[in-house]
Amino acid sequence: MFSGDSLTPHSGKVLSLLRIISALILMQHGLQKIIGFPAPARAPFELISQMGVGGVLELVGGLLLAIGLFSRPVAFILSGMMAVAYFQFHAPQSLYPLVNGGELAVMLCFVFLYIVFAGPGPWSVDALTRRRRRW
């Protein structure tokens, strides 16, 4: 039922879904920081601050990743941002992500790192422009 041969044709589509859903989750954090939606902001938004820059990267980078535009460089930047977020804000509280609340930061860091190497998948602007260049 779950043999590799029968699932392989769908791997690109599932990669696209992983990219899209991960980007949408990240965008929520940027929206929260910038406009207080879908949950109230934890602090006032200041663009020239680490949280402000993080919010913009989460929102704009998340949007670019969701549509699959400049996917590899954007995913690389976002992976690094999530690593910084984890080590700066979560790791000092505890070694264990479950205890320090950093599970999402760790997961998104490695999902974005995977996208750097795997690419955006077929449902992306990058894939669309790559197909057009071949013509």
Domain residue limits at 79: 13-134
The answer to whether residue 63 sits within a structural domain is yes
The answer to whether residue 61 sits within a structural domain is yes
What total number of domains does the chain contain? Answer: 1
Predicted pLDDT at 5: 81
The answer to whether residue 6 sits within a structural domain is no
Predicted pLDDT at 4: 66
The answer to whether residue 105 sits within a structural domain is yes
The CB-side HSE value for 125 (13 A sphere, CA atoms) comes to 10
The answer to whether residue 58 sits within a structural domain is yes
Determine if the peptide bond prior to 38 is cis (ω within 30°): yes
**What pTM does this model have?**
0.93
The answer to whether residue 4 sits within a structural domain is no
The answer to whether residue 5 sits within a structural domain is no
Predicted pLDDT at 135: 58
Q: pLDDT below 70 — which residues of the chain? A: 1-4, 134-135
Predicted pLDDT at 1: 62
Contact 115, 72 (CB under 8 A): yes
Within 10 A of 21 (CB to CB), how many other CB atoms are there?
A: 12
The answer to whether residue 68 sits within a structural domain is yes
